[in-house]
Amino acid sequence: IAPGYLQKEWKVGDRKYYHYKMDNKIINFYSILSARYTVLEDSWTSPEGKKVNIQIFYQHGQTYDLDMMVKGIKKTLDYCGKNFSPYQYHQVRILEFPRYASFAQSFPNTIPFSESIGFITKVDPNNPDDIAYPFYVTCHEVAHQWWGHQVIGANAKGAALMCESMAQYCALMVMEKEYGKAMMEKFLRYEMDGYLRARGVESKGEPSLEDVEGQGYVYYQKGGIAMYALREYIGEDSLNNALKRYVHAVAFSGPPYTNSREFLKFIRSGTPDSMQYLVKDMFEKITFYENSVKSASYTKLANGKYKVDMEIAIGKKYSDKMGNEKSASVDDYFEVGVYGESKDKNKPNFIYLQKMKLTDKSKKIELIVDEKPVKAGIDPRHLLIDRNITDNTANVGDASPAIAKK
C-alpha cells in the first residue's frame, strides 16, 4: 500500500507488483507498507456531495479503536472542510504497523498508525482519567491533509507552526466538540505539564513558536495551547476566518513557500486591536504568567445572590532562549471564573466565567453570582502558560456576618 489510488496489481513468478497513481500533484513524501491486513470499509460525503472512501487496514482481531478512528476521520473532514477548504482527495486510509515505533504520520491520503497508540488501546468511557487518545491522534493526522499537504511551509524556522501546531489545533477543536470542554481542561493540563517538563531539560535553547525548529514540545504542546487559547480570546469564527483566508492564499503553492511570518500576518488580521498583544506574547516571545488566588470568600446578599471577594496576585515574565527571565508589566485580559456545586466532579460548573482586563497592580476582585460559590480563580481553565497552576483557584469560604460573629 502506498499513497494514491491502486491502478492494477499483478504477479511475475513469486513477486507481486502494485501500481498506484495520484490524481493531482503531491509533495515528494510517501510511505510504503505491506502486511496481511483485514480491511474496514466506510465512507464520508461532503456537504457538496463528494464521496470520500474510508479504509482502515488492521491486524485481524485488533478492533478496539476502529469505530473511534472512523469517527475521528469523519469529524475532522467535517471540521476542516467547513472551516478551511475542501478535502483534496477521494479516500482516507489508516494503516496499522507494529510497535517498533510509537507514532502516526500523515502522507497524502494515507496514514501509517502504530498499534502502540491505537488498535490495542482500550479506552474506558467510564474512567474519567482516560483520554480518547486514538480519536485525538486520528484527528491530528487527518488535519495534516490540510496543514502539511495543502499548506506547505518553507524548510525554515517556524515551519512546524503551520504544520504540527495547526494539526494540534484542529484535533483540539474536534475533540472539544465530541467530548466537551471538561475533557479539554484535563487535556490542556496534560499538555501544559508536557511543555514545562520538556523545556526544563532543553540543552540548546528554547525558540519561540515563530522560530521553532525541531523542538516538539514547542510546536506540539505549546503550539496547541497557544492556538486553543487564541480561539478562546478572539472567538472561533474570527480565528477560523483568518485561517481560511490564509489557506486560500497559499494552498498547493510552490516556491517561494509560505512561512511563519506570513502565517502570523493572517492571524493578526483576524485579531482585534485589544488582543494583538496575545499574538506577540504567544507566538513571538516566550511568556510565562504567575497568577494566583490568595484568598476567596462569599457573602450571601438580601436578594438571594452572592457576593464573591477574591484577593489575587498577577505576574508576567519574558524568557530568552537560554531561560533568562525578566519581569514585564501587565495590562492583559484574564479569565476570571467562579464554580458552583457540581454533581459530577469531572464536569466543573461555572456560574461565572468572563474575561477582565487586569494589571499587575490589581489586588482585589468583587463579583455577584446567582448561585452559592464553592471555588473561584484567575485563568481557571489554564489558557495561559503558568508554571504553577495549582494556585490559580481557591475554595470560597463563607464570610457572611452571622458566620463571622459565630
What pLDDT shows up at residue 347?
78
Could you tell me which residue, 217 or 122, shows the higher pLDDT?
217
Model confidence over 362-387: pLDDT tens digits? 899 999 999 999 999 999 999 999 99
Cα 361 to Cα 47: distance, rounded to the nearest angstrom: 51
Nearest alpha-carbon partner for 367 in 335, 392, 345, 342: 335
pLDDT at 206 over 70: yes
Cα 70 to Cα 56: distance, rounded to the nearest angstrom: 8
Mean pLDDT (whole number) for 160-178: 97
Mean pLDDT (whole number) for 39-53: 97
pLDDT at 402 over 60: no
Share of the chain above pLDDT 90, in %: 86
pLDDT at 401 over 70: no
Confidence of residue 346 (pLDDT cuts 50, 70, 90): low
pLDDT at 173 over 80: yes
Model confidence over 306-344: pLDDT tens digits? 999 999 999 999 999 999 999 999 999 999 999 999 887
Mean pLDDT (whole number) for 234-249: 98
Mean pLDDT (whole number) for 243-256: 96
Mean pLDDT (whole number) for 286-291: 97
What pLDDT shows up at residue 405?
38
Model confidence over 179-202: pLDDT tens digits? 888 888 888 888 999 999 999 999
Q: Is the dihedral of CA 279, 283, 285, 291 positive or negative?
A: positive
Report the predicted TM-score, pTM, of the whole model to 2 decimal places: 0.94
What pLDDT shows up at residue 174?
97
Mean pLDDT (whole number) for 160-165: 98
- Per-residue buried b or exposed e for 299-332, using 16+ beta carbons within 10 Å of the residue's own CB: ebeeeeebbbbbebebebeebeeeeeeeebebeb
pLDDT at 31 over 60: yes
Confidence of residue 111 (pLDDT cuts 50, 70, 90): very high
What pLDDT shows up at residue 345?
67
Cα 133 to Cα 266: distance, rounded to the nearest angstrom: 31
What pLDDT shows up at residue 123?
82
What pLDDT shows up at residue 403?
46
What pLDDT shows up at residue 406?
36
